[in-house]
Amino acid sequence: METKVQLARKYGADCFHLHSYFSGTDHAGDPSKVIATVSHRNTEELKLVRQAYCALYNQDILHLLSQKNSLFARVVYLRVSEPHERDAEIVRGALFGSSLDLDTLTEVICTRPSAGLRIVREAYRSRYMSDLDEDVSFKINGSSLKEVLLAVLKSCRYAGARVEAGMAMCDAKTLYEAIESGKHVDQRSIVSILGQRSTDQMKAILCSYRELYGHDFLKFLKKDKCGAFGKQLRVVVRCIQSPEKQLAKRLRRALMNSDAREALIRIVVTRSEIDIERINGAFTAKSRWSLDGVIRNEFNNNSTSHTERDYNLVGDVLVALLKHY
């Protein structure tokens, strides 16, 4: 493990650029250096930058950033944060913000692998002294989505379990029977499988389903008798099976609403070292626009006002993350 002196020497320039730009009120530093730091350093390196900053300036860089009334500072804050802490904060905001944001809640809970989701739950409990499962149950009323989300949260207990091909085949048959065997969908059986299988095992089940019946499970969920449950379950299954396609779809829909900027920030930052290139590809395939172009359109303009300059910097960060990862 590197000492404080070694960290300060190795990441001192990064810390200096962050400090000189964000510590005062006049932003005397060079924002391009800040952008280079947060886009070129990976998650592990940014963790060391935080440690070095604390050693050099006796202050938590995240605390400093959180005090700034700036969207650019907010994006840097999200990027520098530990991924599981960031996800816990996003989920908390989706649950207890100005309005309940089920789309973002579903996005985070259902696109994370079981091992990652388990750490997010732990971070949520530690930070907010509250149980994520209980908060989801409390905030979502009278919706089958609540059962599905709680099942996915429960499934993270099985993180790391070996993928069983035989079990996947059996579960695929159970899913088929749950939809096809009667006049009504057997929601209990479907939710039970979701709650007892890791994301890796669920992917194996969905592959087995396609092998057995020649179609994706998603296609069967479009049947009229699946109703609202089927519609909600389709989103969750897409998140598990093909997160890059679901996130690309989320971005396309956001562009038609008023939350495009927030969605772009959240998805580009949280997926920058995971699958942002595949998300970009899926987005372009359906819309014929590149995320680069969309970001430029949403954030960049020629205005010289302070607010618009702030937006320009946010756009520059997001484009840099797209190009680097």
Please enumerate in sequence order all residues whose Cβ is within 8 A of that of 9, keeping only pairs 6 or more positions apart, or say none: none
Sort 313 into a burial class: Cβ within 10 Å, 0-12 / 13-18 / 19+.
buried
Half-sphere exposure of 311 (CA within 13 A, CB side): 17
CB 263 within 8 A of CB 251: yes
CB 61 within 8 A of CB 54: yes
Q: Is 24 annotated as a binding residue?
A: yes
Q: Is 220 annotated as a binding residue?
A: no
Q: How far is CA 210 from CA 66, 152, 172, 220, 235, in A?
A: 47, 21, 9, 11, 18
Spatial distance between the Cα atoms of 318 and 325, rounded to a whole number of angstroms: 11
Q: How far is CA 120 from CA 51, 109, 126, 321, in A?
A: 21, 9, 10, 23
CB 233 within 8 A of CB 191: no
Q: Is 211 annotated as a binding residue?
A: no
Q: 3-state DSSP call for residue 13? A: helix
Please name the residue ranges forming H helices in the chain.
4-22, 31-40, 43-57, 61-66, 71-80, 83-96, 102-111, 114-128, 132-139, 144-155, 165-180, 187-196, 199-213, 217-220, 227-241, 243-255, 260-270, 276-287, 291-299, 306-324
What sign does the dihedral 81-127-104-99 (CA atoms) show? negative
Residue ranges at the known binding site for Ca(2+): 22, 24, 298
Residue ranges at the known binding site: 22, 24, 298
